[in-house]
Structure 1
């Protein structure tokens, strides 16, 4: 594969992966304007964020089998068309209920992009390069939290929030054209792959039974829940508690996202010397420590604005190491049913992310401080570390059994 071809694939796959976070981050600064225009409040408008998470989580389970049955591109294109039409619908939404429904439909289309992109990484690149490729995708995806809130803030202020969804519609059309003309079909349709419920469920169960997938996909998904806790809780923490302006909030969001992006690129270099299994453990330990200090420091008033920013920066930087390695390790055991594995991994991420977002919202009704955001972030990092350490022991025990003389003799007889 030539360098120019490699670069083009990374850009397109990165754009596909970035569409969902861009759809989330871009309209966050427009919440007050949306609430005012739709005669609602920010709490009700935030339900459109929850419905998006639910749609992405549920939709990925639908697209996984479709990608294995019909190839990667046809389901991808259908999903992009659904996203495009739903985005247009959001432009003309006149009630918050309509916006919540249309955001759900938008998510159902958008999730095809995430599933297809992850499966295509497994299809198109050597397995030993997958972690590096996911780190490269993180560079493209990382542009979302840096650019989207700033763009959304200015667009909402000077043009109106409707134009946010117009921009998303145009963006989807551009990605659709690029994927149609420049993205290869990486997996031929499999007419023998059944779309009946029972075989699909058996396929997902086969993925879940793989200890490496369960360990790394669940740990990565819980860390993703910590990230979405920050995304959903940061508007209140920075805008209401620390009293920053909308423009300042956009800059803070971009600055903190730089940690996530930069760590992903450092991860690519460290992979030349260390294994993904080593990097992900260290990153989770550091993230759990940072999360614990963050929740204690902000709740007790030990740290101020600068200390909060610094610890969130460390937390997100650790996520930049965790995500690409968790994705590569989760997908490594699969080739034939990579679509189903990718879908299940994405569904776990968005499902746990949705639960974390709801947890932040529910805690915000009880606590009017930073605890809802920082508490859920810390809990996610600690829980993910426990899952990783427990799962790693299971993986090592299974590997020892498989390499035992009895297992090798049985394999030779078979």
Structure 2
């Protein structure tokens, strides 16, 4: 390992992921009108971006371990810039779809490079703090990017959002070339072939990785479920205005920012285990509260439990990300890619399956909030049963 990756640069790099979604959300109707297509086709650009971001992890991790973190990040930023340019000049929605897939793959490479770079550069105790700060930066974007995107769209057009993305990525690319060291350890294990699922086997078989990756996936599923349920609950069922919806939605981003930057203090005082138990208690309490208040037709009855669960999420993510990657210093890129795959693709699939259950939306939300506690309890019982059997 040459030297540590600067924390400020890791934070600047991770911004490309949420920016790729949140900044152009206010422009969706304008894009549909401009491209003469139903808005559902424009919404598909978000799905394609997330799908590429999730599925690409399985290739990005082995690339990071074979060629290094810095080349992967440089390649990812280059793809992101290319996708942004194509989006900005797209005249047909099909071209926009292709460009968003390119952007998603670029974002995936950057994310894996950042996550493995943190694992390379800092101690297991320090990584939880770094991941918490990174999550805090990610949460800033949903609070600010829509305002920037709305101004860009009104001042110029929807194309300006993608020009902004490309310019930002270009500036960060130049900073990366100048300031980012290669952090891949000399003892890194790389597979002889990129498409080789045997390289994932020792990671997937690790009980530590299973427990913590499951917790990260379930925590992310709560956020995805909230994003899908919130517009229907607040604007359709409760009838609040889009402006008021934006204020409630943005307030949760503020909660996440505060929680993410406070999490290192809580973890340091309580320790990882007790802090994780606190997080699960918060999520379980939020699950009970949202079901109890489902008959109360006020935004606070929905958003209050969401605020509580989001606070728990801010503790789960840094603790479990650092713990999941801790045993794999020799293959951090591959481990980080698997973690990212389950966090994004696994959580999205889980939410889709849970939505098939014959429950009301608030009951489904409550179930999602309860799952981290059930997963942790199930793993604890299984571990005790194995110990008793071996004894």
TM-score clears 0.5: yes
For the 8 Å contact 2:31–2:42, the answer to whether it is kept is: yes
Tell me the residue number matched to 1:164. Answer: 161
Match of 1:103 in 2: 100
Q: 2:337 aligns with which of 324, 334, 343?
A: 343
In structure 2, C-alpha distance between the alignment counterparts of 1:169 and 1:145, rounded to whole Å: 18
Question: Which digits, 9 at most, give the CA deviation of each residue in 1:251-288, with x for residues without a partner?
Answer: 33332111112112222112222222222222123213
Q: Does 1:278 align with 2:260?
A: no
Q: Distance in 1 between matches of 2:96 and 2:238?
A: 29
Map 1:306-321 → 2, pairs under 5 A: 306-321=300-315
2:38 aligned partner: 41
Matches within 5 A, 1:242-391: 242-295=238-291, 297-298=293-294, 301-355=295-349, 358=352, 371-372=360-361, 374-391=362-379
User: Residue 104 and residue 326 in structure 1: after superposition, are their counterparts in 2 closer, same or farther (change >3 A)?
Assistant: same
91-100 or 267-276, which moves further after superposition? 91-100
Paired residue total: 389
Match of 1:69 in 2: 66
Check whether the contact 1:65–1:195 (CA below 8 A) recurs between aligned residues.
no
Which has the higher mean CA deviation after the structures are superposed, 67-76 or 238-247? 238-247
1:29 touches 1:246 (CA, 8 Å); kept in 2?
A: no
Going from structure 1 to structure 2, the CA distance change for 1:217 and 1:93 (only over 3 Å counts) comes to same
Task: Give 3-state SS (helix, strand or coil) of 1:44's partner.
Answer: helix
Instruction: Please say which of residues 374-383 and 84-93 is displaced more in the overlay.
Output: 374-383
Query: How far, CA to CA, are the matches of 1:376 and 1:185 in structure 2?
Result: 44
Q: Which residue of 211, 220, 224 corresponds with 1:224?
A: 220
Flag the 1:87–1:392 CA change in 2: closer, same or farther, 3 A. Answer: farther
Deviations 1:379-405 (A, max 9, x none): 322223222222234456678999x8x
Which residue is 2:207 aligned to?
A: 211
**Which stretches in structure 2 are left out of the alignment for 5+ residues?**
none
| Residues 139-170 of structure 1: per-residue CA shift (max 9 Å, x gap) | 22221111112222332333322111111111
Q: 1:251 to 1:176 in 2, by over 3 A?
A: farther
**What are the superposed Cα offsets for residues 361-382 of structure 1, whole Å, 9 maximum, x if unpaired?**
989xx99xxx54x454333222
The runs of 5 or more residues in structure 1 that have no matched partner are 405-414
Corresponding residue for 2:57? 60
Once the two structures are superposed, residues 320-360 of structure 1 have per-residue CA deviations (whole angstroms, 9 ceiling, x without a partner) of 11111111111111100111110000011110243256569
Alpha-carbon distance between aligned partners in 2 of 1:270 and 1:248, rounded to the nearest angstrom? 32
For residues 86-119 of structure 1, what are the alpha-carbon distances to aligned partners after superposition, in whole Å with 9 as ceiling and x for unaligned? 1111112223333222212210111111111111
| 1:412 aligned partner | none
Question: Closer, same or farther in 2 for the Cα pair 1:156/1:246, shift >3 Å?
Answer: farther
Instruction: Rate the CA distance shift 1:321–1:190 in 2: closer, same or farther, 3 A.
Output: closer
Counterpart of 2:86 (choices 85, 89, 112) is 89
Is the partner of 1:186 in helix, strand or coil? Answer: coil
- Between the aligned partners of 1:355 and 1:151, the Cα distance in structure 2 is 31
What are the Cα deviations for residues 154-200 of structure 1, in whole angstroms up to 9, with x where unaligned?
323333221111111111112212222112111157797234257x3
Could you tell me whether the CA contact under 8 Å between 1:83 and 1:106 is conserved in 2?
A: yes
- Note the 1:389-408 alignment, pairs <5 A: 389-395=377-383
Residue 148 (structure 2) pairs with residue 151 (structure 1)? yes
SS in 1 for 2:87: helix
1:131 and 1:276 in contact (8 A); partners too: no
Task: Give CA-to-partner distance per residue, 1:25-83, whole Å, 9 cap, x none.
Answer: 22222222222222233333222111111101111111100111111101111111011
User: Normalising by structure 1, what TM-score?
Assistant: 0.85
Deviations along 1:266-314, one digit per CA (max 9) or x if unpaired, are 221122222222222221232133134325634xx32412222222222
- Report the 3-state secondary structure (helix = DSSP H, G, I; strand = E; otherwise coil) of the residue aligned with 1:272: helix
RMSD after superposition: 2.9
Paired residues of 2:82 and 2:102 also in contact (CA < 8 A): no
1:27 corresponds to = 24
TM-score normalized by the length of structure 2: 0.89
